[in-house]
């Protein structure tokens, strides 16, 4: 009977680890996709900024002011996207830390249960 109990405990332990890892990867994957979307938005903002500058130069404007609304909007968008990306990267690190701590706690519990099984085998 102790074999079946140990087998059940092992299956439970590893399925819990599997579920935790799956949750961790899913959360990180979603945040990574969000970051990729933000990076694409930054590229679009750069393209639009370049297009705006090109059009102004093509129209013969000799000065392009950084505080013009059409330029400032794209610059502000890039700053906002970068801020969001930084926040999401911090969130990823926090998730990794949280799951590492969970794994460490589970690892600390594991030797305790192994001690039980080895003592019952003697």
Q: How far apart are the first and last CA of the chain?
A: 15
Q: Of the segments 13-27, 73-87, 102-116, which one has the largest average pLDDT value?
A: 73-87
The number of folded domains in the chain is 1
Residue 93 lies in a domain: yes
Residue 58 lies in a domain: yes
Average pLDDT, stretch 9-17?
A: 81
State residue 61's pLDDT score: 87
Give the C-alpha separation, 28 to 92, whole Å: 6
The neighbour count for residue 92, using CB atoms within 10 Å, is 19
Q: What is the pLDDT of residues 52-85, one digit of tens each?
A: 999 989 999 888 888 889 899 999 999 999 999 9
Residue 2 lies in a domain: no
Residue from 76, 91, 113 nearest 35 by CA: 91
Residue 54, domain extent = 7-106
């Amino acid at each position: 009977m102790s074999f079946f109990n140990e087998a059940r405990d092992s299956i439970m332990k590893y399925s819990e680890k599997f579920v935790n890892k799956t949750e961790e990867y899913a959360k990180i994957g979603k945040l990574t996709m969000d970051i990729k979307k933000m990076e694409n938005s930054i590229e679009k903002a750069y393209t639009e900024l370049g297009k705006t500058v090109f059009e102004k130069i093509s129209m013969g404007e000799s000065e392009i002011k950084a505080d013009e609304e059409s330029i400032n909007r794209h610059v502000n968008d890039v700053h906002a996207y970068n801020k969001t990306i930084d926040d999401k990267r911090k969130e990823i690190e926090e998730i990794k830390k949280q799951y590492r701590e969970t794994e460490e706690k589970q690892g600390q519990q594991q030797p305790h249960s192994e001690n039980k099984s080895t003592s019952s085998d003697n």
